[in-house]
Amino acid sequence: MTNHWVDIKNADAILIMGSNAAEHHPISFKWVLDAKYKRGAVVMHVDPKFSRTSARSDFHVPLRSGTDIAFLGGMIHYILENNLYFNEYVAHYTNAALIVKDSFGFKDGLFSGYNPETRKYDQSKWAFETDAEGIPKKDPALKHERSVFQLLKAHYSRYTIDKVSDITGVSLDNLLRVYKAYAATGNPEKSGTILYALGWTQHTVGVQNIRSAGIVQLLLGNMGVAGGGINALRGEPNVQGSTDHALLYHIVPGYMAMPLSDWQSLADYHKANTPVSKDALSANWWQNKPKYFNSLLKGWFGDAATAENEFGYGMLPKLEKGADYSYLFLFDRMYKGDISGGFIFGLNPANSVANTNKVRKAFDTLDWLVTVDVHHSETTDNWKRPGVDPKKIKTEVFMLPSAHRLEKEGSVTNSGRWMLWHYEAVKPPGEARTFGYMLVELMNRIKKSYAAKEGAYPDPIVKLDWPDSYNAEVWPGGSTGSLPGK
């Protein structure tokens, strides 16, 4: 979400793609209807199927599933060819005026610098031209043939309306109906917002779907304004929190990169991740990244983090460059027998991950598995699923009873990126505990074990600044008490 739910009411045009907002995100749709009936906003639903969202929109445009990029590419072409972009915004508040080096090119579906052996791009081929002082050259008139603007125009010239219609299955009339209505927001008096959900993200080209929307919004000047933005309709609060609070493998808190094996020293990390600008007009806020990252290390390792030991940077694990540690690859490695055990908190991958048959067989390769949930699921009971003899499953499975959301207090991040605190309504029953409680107590036992017998490399464990117990004073968020057997 670049904007908040309530800001949707300020839009003059609302494009909903890859989402059935009326049914799946009714709070967002409240503000869509507010904009429609109070501001006269035009609401467009571009989606393969007709739904309640379609019924409440001004018009529904069906398209072939998976052709969203072509649809948006056609809109970009339409905006550029008809000079409907917000010229002042594009020239002064985007990188459209910057001049790209002549090493950049695009041919046969590939950009310059592609290495077919490594399947990687050398992005230095895409760099900007700079003057003698290292400041990127610009053409505010947007006429230079190698300006970002002209290269963008050339790249999207192939998305003619006839070609887009052929790819998407959308009639010419319907394409123009959407393009005209939405492109009308390309001036300072109007704004348009784009709403999307899993219908966009759950594609192999999900990132390109959203980047295409980003290009549309930048051309029309719809970023950073009331009623604008690109708004992801999240399924639950902490889907937003997963990125804001770094629950994904490739980032640490603050949207900073997870260390790679190439960056063995703190200096290496900062050099690779801190942008340098010689342009006096550049805000370049990320030049402060070293301060943020050093503070984060200090928060993790406390007094053990000093300038002399690079604030404990050496104690952080490093990802191998080029390796993929994402969800699907995790289960692929598990399937191959490369993982011996693990914890699953409040998740049911045996039911929700693609190729569930492979996922369930992958679990069979584990020596041990700890599942933490409020109830039994396909994952917790995978070892005795239909068609399987439990005696032949080697995995030792433990199930820890978790507190329900109503049985714990703690923070969540809503779709507007506000951190909210919710309170415990009732105590968790029996031996049920919160996730936080389990993790704190488990880590305390691990620290105690390392203190008694150090192991190969104890520092990241024993020097971690960690609460000694889980209680309201030290670590807010749920029931106190000991784990059974402590």
Cα distance between residue 474 and residue 169, in whole Å: 59
Q: Residue type at 312?
A: G
Local confidence pLDDT in tens for the 486 residues of the chain: 889 889 999 999 999 999 999 999 998 999 999 999 999 999 999 999 999 999 999 999 999 999 999 999 999 999 999 999 999 999 999 999 999 999 999 999 999 999 999 899 999 999 999 999 999 999 999 999 999 999 999 999 999 999 999 999 999 999 999 999 999 999 999 999 999 998 898 888 999 999 999 999 999 999 999 999 999 998 765 677 777 778 888 999 989 999 999 999 999 999 999 999 988 888 899 999 999 999 999 999 999 999 999 999 999 999 998 888 988 899 999 999 999 999 999 899 999 888 999 999 999 999 999 999 999 999 999 999 999 999 999 999 999 999 998 999 888 887 777 888 889 999 999 999 999 889 988 999 999 999 888 888 999 999 999 887 665 444 444 444 444 443
Q: What is the pLDDT of residue 209?
A: 96
Cα distance between residue 465 and residue 479, in whole Å: 22
Cα distance between residue 387 and residue 427, in whole Å: 38
Cα distance between residue 178 and residue 220, in whole Å: 14
Q: How many of the other CB atoms lie within 10 Å of CB of 483?
A: 15
Strands 368-373 and 106-107: unpaired
Tokens for 71, please give them.
């649809």
Cα distance between residue 197 and residue 234, in whole Å: 7
Across the chain, which distance is largest between two alpha carbons, in Å?
Answer: 74
> Where in the chain are the domains?
5-74+160-233, 250-315
Cα distance between residue 107 and residue 394, in whole Å: 53
Which residues have a Cβ under 8 Å from the Cβ of 254 and sit 6 or more positions away? Answer: 246, 292, 293, 296
Cα distance between residue 46 and residue 95, in whole Å: 29
Which residues have a Cβ under 8 Å from the Cβ of 35 and sit 6 or more positions away? Answer: 8, 9, 10, 11, 12, 14, 41, 43, 227
Tokens for 43, please give them.
């609401």
Q: What contacts 24+ positions apart, CB below 8 Å, involve 31-37?
A: 31/5, 31/6, 31/7, 32/8, 32/56, 32/195, 34/8, 34/9, 35/8, 35/9, 35/10, 35/11, 35/227
Q: What is the CA radius of gyration of the chain?
A: 26
Q: Which parts of 308-363 fold into alpha helices (H)?
A: 327-335, 349-352, 356-363
Cα distance between residue 75 and residue 179, in whole Å: 6
Q: Residue type at 262?
A: D
- Homologous superfamily (CATH) of 5-74+160-233 is Dimethylsulfoxide Reductase, domain 2 (3.40.228.10)
| pTM for this model (two decimals) | 0.86
Encode pLDDT of 79-123 as tens digits: 999 999 999 999 999 999 999 999 999 999 999 999 999 899 999
Residue whose C-alpha is closest to residue 373's, from 385, 382, 386, 384: 382
Encode pLDDT of 294-314 as tens digits: 999 999 999 999 999 999 999
Residue whose C-alpha is closest to residue 356's, from 390, 331, 389: 331
Strands 368-373 and 396-401: parallel
Residue with tokens 């506000």: 418
